[in-house]
Every structure is written in C-alpha cells, then in structure tokens.
Structure 1
Amino acid sequence: MLEYQQKHLILLESMFFSTGFEACKIAKELGYKVTLICRDFKLYLKNKPLNQHPLGLADFHIETETNDAKSLIQFLENYYEKNPFHGLLTFSDYYVDIAAQVATYFGFLSPSPKSVQIARNKDLSRICLLEKSVPSAKFHIVKSFAEALKAAKDIGYPCVVKPTAETSSYGVECVFNDEQLLKAFNFANSIIINERGQRREGKVLIEEYMVGEEVSVETISINGDCHVLGITSKGLTGWPNFVECEFSFPYKIPENTRNSVIDVVKSALNAIGYFHGPCHTEIKLTKEGPKVVEINPRLGGRFISKMISDSLGIDPIKEVIKLAMGDSVDLLPKRNIGTAWSAITAPSTGFLKEIKGKEEVLKSSGVEIFILNAKIGDFVRKPTNNGDTIGYIYTLGKDAADARDNLKKAREKLQLIISS
C-alpha cells in the first residue's frame, strides 16, 4: 500500500492585509503543509506574537534572505532534502519576480520569470505594449530632471510621474507645471531602496495623463487560457496622487465596452507572455478606447479577492493556491450578488479629535464589515498613497450598483473631526 504524502506549499513573504494573511489559513484548509519564508517577520507582526497572528497558522516559519533569487534557491535546495515541497507562491507585489524564478527553477507551475519581470517593471511594460501595439499611455523613461522636462514638453501637461517598480500608488503624482514636475521627479527618483530592502534602478516614468474612468480586470490564466473573473470599478482620491478609495464587483459596463476592455487585457497579457497565473490589470476607459494603466501579476489587492468570493462563490486565493500546487481549479460561478468596499481616509492632516456616526454605520443596510483602526488622538494625514487608509467599510447588495448605494449611505453617516 502506498503511503500518503501530504502536499507541501512554500509561501514566500506576504501582503500587509487580507489577501496575504488569508493564504496560510486557506492553504491549511485545503490540506496542505505550509512553510512561510520571510526576510523579517516583524514587518508583518507589528508587535503581535506570531501565534496570535494569521501568519502563525503556517506549519513552519523560516527567516532567511528573500531578496535574492540565487541565495533563496540555494537555501531551498537544502531545505528540500529534508522537507520536500510541491509548489511555491507569493501574494506580494515585491516578490512575484523572485517567486517566478524560484518556482521555475524547481519545475513548478508558475508564470514565466520574463513575463513577471516585464509586468513588475512599469518601464518594461510600457515598452512591450508599445512594440506590440497594445493601447497604453504615451511615456518617456528618464534618469534626470533635464530628461523629465523634455519628456513633459513632448507629452504635455498634465502628466504623471511614477517610479518604475513601486506598489500601492507610492510616489505616483499628476503634475501640471515644471515646479510640480521637479518635486515629483525628485521624490520618485529618491526611492533607491523600497520598504522591503530591495534596490531599484534610478529610472522614472513620465506618462500621459489618461482621462477617463478607471477599472480593473481580474483574471486567472491556466496554461494560456485566460479566465476573466470580472471587472472591478475603482474610485480614486488624494488628487493629485492616485489613492484607491472604492471598489465594487462585478461592475457592469456596456457589452461592447466590456468586450473591448477584455480584448485589450488579453492582448496585454499575450504581449508580455503572461500565460499562467492570476493578474490584476488596470484599464482607463478613454475616449479613444480602453488603455492599459498597469499589469499586476498577482491577485487584486485590498478586498478584491473577498469581493469576488462573496459575489461569485469563487475564492481566488484558494484557486490560485491550488493552481500553484498542480491541483484542479474551479472557476465556475456559484452565485451572482454585488459587493463594494470603501477605504476610510482622513479629510485633512492632523490629530483625530472626534468620530461621529460609528453606530449608525454598523446599523446601515448592507454593511458586512466596518473597521476603523485610528483612535481619538492619533495623528492621521490626508492620503497620498494606499498606505494612508485608516479603516474601511464593506457592503453587499443584490448587484454591484446596489452594494455601491449601500456603501454610499453608510459612508455618509461617518464623520471624522480633525484638529491641526
């Protein structure tokens, strides 16, 4: 009789919110043994003991260097001898390229390292999309302010300044004149080492500011077959920065527009050679048609995975884990309801003096989750990136429009009083 061997998953690093934190729990529920490898667990624990944190559900916790693929491969070769594993996966933007390299080395199912590298580096993405005639923003890659001025003159104001390999809208700003350009360029160019200790190249993107509604398309590709889970609406705040403040799913747009959006997304994924794995592709609906904002070779962040799960009965985190482990994936919708999510951000920078309407929000129709992390007396700031969120509201509805309406009514009941 053959001895049963429990499948073993390596999880590389995490996100700072639900998608990454849920992965350990879901992998365990699927019956897998889990090893979580991180460079520094303190980054996630925030002074909480590991056994009281969602990441504590992993069977094994290992601290080692994760920012270098070669050294990680060497470590895992030795680890494999005593603890054979069957798949490797990350849910973190910062580690998708390293995870692809390591998974490919061990012969596991994974996106190609080259496609992930192109997606992760926005300058490479823009070049690739241009070469393959996929609609995208006009752009220049610059290394100095003189080059940035020349690029802005060519593209025209307003234009967007962004680092080539950051996440959470960090360092992304729309500028309207040379003075603003200088400030934004200097900031983006100053990000030499990111928050994970990874060194980045000294390049900055100057892009056309694309006018139009922004949406994202959530997909999971399996051996070249791109499955579209749906379209997510997106609200932005923090102007002239781009802070994600509201989502709803599944977002209904006219069928011809939807078809055009999906065609552009599939063309973009084909252009970069991304044929296997999850993707969160951001699209602007411009008057010229859909254009690619960014290709993110991972699941959508924030609450998007939960929104898909609650709306369709498809848990993207679960299915992506199964995909990485070579097990069968179920992407068939089981239901069709609407979900919506709103970030809570400070209306101005200062100290939180008073919170009004908390009980009313909790009693509001359709509200499933209401979390406010900031307390009276905390210093809060007007948002400039996704990290400035201080809470959120999550609602359900009969469809996305109904969920958005429930969200709007709940959000209007909350008032944050800030003192300078």
Structure 2
Amino acid sequence: MRKTLVVVYADGAAHPGDIAVGLAPWADCVFVAEPDAHTRAMEPLLDRFGPVVLTDSVPEAARRLRAHAADGIVTYSERALHLAAALAEQLALPFHDRGTIGLLTDKWQQRAALSAAGVDAVRCRRIDTLADWDAAVAATGLPAVLKPAHGGGSRNTFHITDAAAGRELARTLLGDDCPGLVAGGTLVLEEYLPGRDCGPFGDYVSIESIVQGGTVTDLAVTGKFPMVPPFRETGRFWPSPLGAAEDAACRDLARRAVEALGVRDGLTHTEIKLTPQGPRLIEVNGRLGGGINELSVRAQNTNLIELAGRVALGERPDLPAFYQGRAYFQLFHPAPRTPGTLLGIDGADAVKRLPGVTLYRPYARPGTALPGGVQTLELDIVMGEADDVPELAAIVKDIDATLRYRFAFGDQGPREVTGAGLGAL
C-alpha cells in the first residue's frame, strides 16, 4: 500500500521534477508551501505530481493536510525547515523538534551549542544592533567572518579585516529587511578559520550523512573546488581528495556535531574547514546539500531524495556503501560581484568536446542583467567524470582555460575573462 508524504517546498529546494523522480514512483505526495513569487510559479509543475497547499497560515495548512492522512513529512529546502517542523508538530509526524530546528538554522545558536558540547569551539558573537559591534570584534578578533544568522548560498557573507569598514557593512546589513533567508537583520560575527594549502582544490569539504533513530551513517565526503572571494562556491565532486586519516577526522567531527544538535532522523550536510591544525566545523545543515543528489545518482545510482523520503516514513532502507569510486564533478562559474550585463559566453562547444565533460549548461543568456552582490549566483554548470581525483584536476583546468565570459559594467566598456579569472570580478 502506498503511503502519503507531505513535501514542504520553498525556493532553494531540490527541483520539483527531481523530487517527483525520487518520490512519485512509490509514494503519494502532497506539497505545501508559503505563497511567494517562486512557489506560485512552481505551483503548476508541483500540481502535476500531487495536490498543492499554498498558504502562509500553519493552522490552515495543517487543517487542509489532515484530509490527506499523511504518514510522514520531509523537506529539501533550508528555507522550509521551520515550516516543516511546525507542521510536523501540528500533524504529530516525526521530524526535527523545534529545539533542534533552532540549532540547525540559527548560526549563533549552533556555535553556542557545539561549544557547550565540547565538539568545536569557534569564537562567535551575535549582532542584533550596531551597539553589539565593538564587543563582537573584541571577542572574535580580526580577521573574522560576518554573515546573517539565518543564511545560505553565501549570501551577504563577508571577510572582515578592518573593524571600521566592518561596522559600516554591519550597519548596511542590519538595515536590510532580509539579509539572509528570513525576515530580520540579525547577524553573527565569527572567528575566521584560515585553510591549509589544498593544491588545486578547495580548503573545505562536506560530509553527507543519513540519520536513522539517532544513528549517523556517512554516505560520502564531498570535495570542493576553490572558493572565489569572499566565500562563493564554485563546485563539488565525489570522492574527496583527502587521505584516510584526514577523512576519518572530518567524519568524526561531523558525526559528533550532528549528534550534539539532537538530529534523530533525516539527511545532514556538514561543512568542514581544513586548517593547518586539523578539521574545524563550518556548519551543520539539517537537509540535503545543494547538488548532492545529482552526484549520488551518477556516482552510485542512489537517489537521496528517495532515501530521505523513506526515512521520513519510518522505513529502514538499505544504505549504500560509503562512496570511494570514480570522480564525478559539478563545476560552476559565479556571476561578478559588480552589477553589469552578460554580453556572452564563448567556448561552450569546445568545452563539450573536452575529454571527461558530459554536460555544459548555461544559466544566463546574453543580455541578462546581473545584480552583483555577494551570493552564489551561477552563470553556468559543467558536469563530468574522471578515473580519479588527479585526472579531475587536469580536466577542470582545461575547462576554465576554454570558457570565456564577456561583460559590460556601466560606462567601463566590455570586459572579457576566462573561467579561471571570473571569480576576481
């Protein structure tokens, strides 16, 4: 007998088509979302796979959902975690409890809880008003990282090296109605963790895990390509480039962090910084990481959207072995921080012919106005595979030398850069 699963949807979630591929063949889905421009645009697509409840009232959503007699609830979106927890409470369905949701979504609360549990003590202070700035800088020291307390996608995340400049930046962000993922201007300032030299790869990784009844099982360690300033991601790959000892240390830190936050069931995506003194925690996310399901499907034919859905329904699905096979990658190129217009992307046909490249997909057309700012806004994505991680490094170097991006920035005239130089803009 098919069970019914409530899927709480929001901007930033897995694509509705991917959710349908993972869930529709074996479960009946009911989608619920808060009404906004994105969810209204996606409603016709969601409606193809199941009933859609659009409301900004939790009691109203719960009333309408009761008619479907749901057996479980799941979300694949950071933005939707609070709504999912509130609905789970109303419907008496298993999910992260409200205390755990607070620790997963508020970066200051999470740092405080992990420090209290002895997992990892990173100096961190909450900034509710500009009056908190001086004490925060005194506590964390400089350099430091300033970001929204509830944030994602590297939006409004800054590297602070000067206290006066940081104060003005904090003033601007505090004046923003929504500098992060939720309304309200609360920020955090935290100790900057310098990374070690990781060669052609990024100085951080993420640990992808599934939690069942409080037991954490690691699925993979995800390697990263180098960030571009200030903290914008450029891609990921399986498996990571870490040696056995560092891999084990990262996985142990991630497991202890997930347990300390009280996660009982579901997917987790834990980011770890690789420092000269060893792995340090960046943050724990209580949901599927961006792009991770696509890597999992290609690398080992395991759909993590399905896996999370089955766990949400109380099943004990067979889990894949920890991934250590061929290298599969996603490389993307971020839009400039300076507002401008994309004039064109050259080299796409040549990139498609490169050994190891299986897909090139542009996300922005010539003539697209780019807003600038500090966030992860992708111009395109390149996917592919290699026999191993060293071969992967050579493929990515060829890709970045082949792609060329042309922009217009105000009255400055056209400017062209390769993929390798794009992050400096």
User: Please, what TM-score do these two structures have when normalized by structure 1?
Assistant: 0.87
Aligned to 1:39: 34
For the pair 1:63 / 2:54, whether they are aligned, the reply is yes
Q: Which among 286, 291, 306 is matched to residue 294 of structure 2?
A: 306
Pairs aligned (count): 400
Aligned to 2:225, the other structure's residue is in SS state strand
For the pair 1:167 / 2:158, whether they are aligned, the reply is no
Aligned to 1:374: 364
Q: Judging changes above 3 Å, is the alpha-carbon distance between structure 1 residues 403 and 317 closer, same or farther for their aligned structure 2 residues?
A: farther
Give identity over the alignment, percent: 20
Aligned to 1:246: 235
* Structure 1 gap ranges (5+): 66-70
Aligned residues of 1:311 and 1:335 also touching (Cα < 8 A): no
For the pair 1:419 / 2:408, whether they are aligned, the reply is yes
User: Alpha-carbon deviation of 1:247?
Assistant: 0.9
User: Alpha-carbon deviation of 1:274?
Assistant: 1.2
Aligned to 1:217: 207
Aligned residues of 1:25 and 1:57 also touching (Cα < 8 A): no
What is the rounded CA distance, in whole Å, between the counterparts of 1:408 and 1:38 in structure 2? 41
Aligned to 1:409: 398
User: Alpha-carbon deviation of 1:339?
Assistant: 1.0
Aligned to 2:199: none
Aligned residues of 2:11 and 2:79 also touching (Cα < 8 A): no
Aligned residues of 2:149 and 2:180 also touching (Cα < 8 A): no
AA matched with 2:364 = A
Aligned residues of 1:346 and 1:383 also touching (Cα < 8 A): no
For the pair 1:10 / 2:6, whether they are aligned, the reply is yes
Aligned residues of 1:367 and 1:407 also touching (Cα < 8 A): no
Give per-residue Cα distances to partners, 1:106-153, cap 9 Å, x unaligned: 333323332122111111101101111112421112223342123223
AA matched with 1:311 = A
Q: Judging changes above 3 Å, is the alpha-carbon distance between structure 1 residues 187 and 13 closer, same or farther for their aligned structure 2 residues?
A: farther
Aligned residues of 1:134 and 1:267 also touching (Cα < 8 A): yes
Q: Judging changes above 3 Å, is the alpha-carbon distance between structure 1 residues 106 and 394 closer, same or farther for their aligned structure 2 residues?
A: same
Aligned to 1:402, the other structure's residue is in SS state helix
AA matched with 1:33 = D
Aligned to 2:70: 85
* Structure 2 gap ranges (5+): 196-202, 410-425
Aligned to 1:14, the other structure's residue is in SS state coil
Q: Which among 21, 26, 29 is matched to residue 25 of structure 1?
A: 21
Aligned residues of 2:210 and 2:216 also touching (Cα < 8 A): yes
User: Alpha-carbon deviation of 1:364?
Assistant: 1.5
What is the rounded CA distance, in whole Å, between the counterparts of 1:144 and 1:408 in structure 2? 44
User: Alpha-carbon deviation of 1:307?
Assistant: 0.8
Aligned to 1:68: none
User: Alpha-carbon deviation of 1:291?
Assistant: 1.2
Aligned residues of 2:123 and 2:139 also touching (Cα < 8 A): no
Q: Judging changes above 3 Å, is the alpha-carbon distance between structure 1 residues 396 and 381 closer, same or farther for their aligned structure 2 residues?
A: farther
Give per-residue Cα distances to partners, 1:247-306, cap 9 Å, x unaligned: 1111031212111111111111121111211111111112222111111100111x2211
Give per-residue Cα distances to partners, 1:139-189, cap 9 Å, x unaligned: 112223342123223422211111111211112101111232023212332
What is the rounded CA distance, in whole Å, between the counterparts of 1:396 and 1:254 in structure 2? 20
For the pair 1:365 / 2:355, whether they are aligned, the reply is yes
Aligned to 1:75: 61
User: Alpha-carbon deviation of 1:77?
Assistant: 3.5
AA matched with 1:409 = D
Aligned to 2:225: 235
Q: Which among 177, 190, 199 is matched to residue 183 of structure 2?
A: 199
Aligned residues of 2:104 and 2:261 also touching (Cα < 8 A): yes
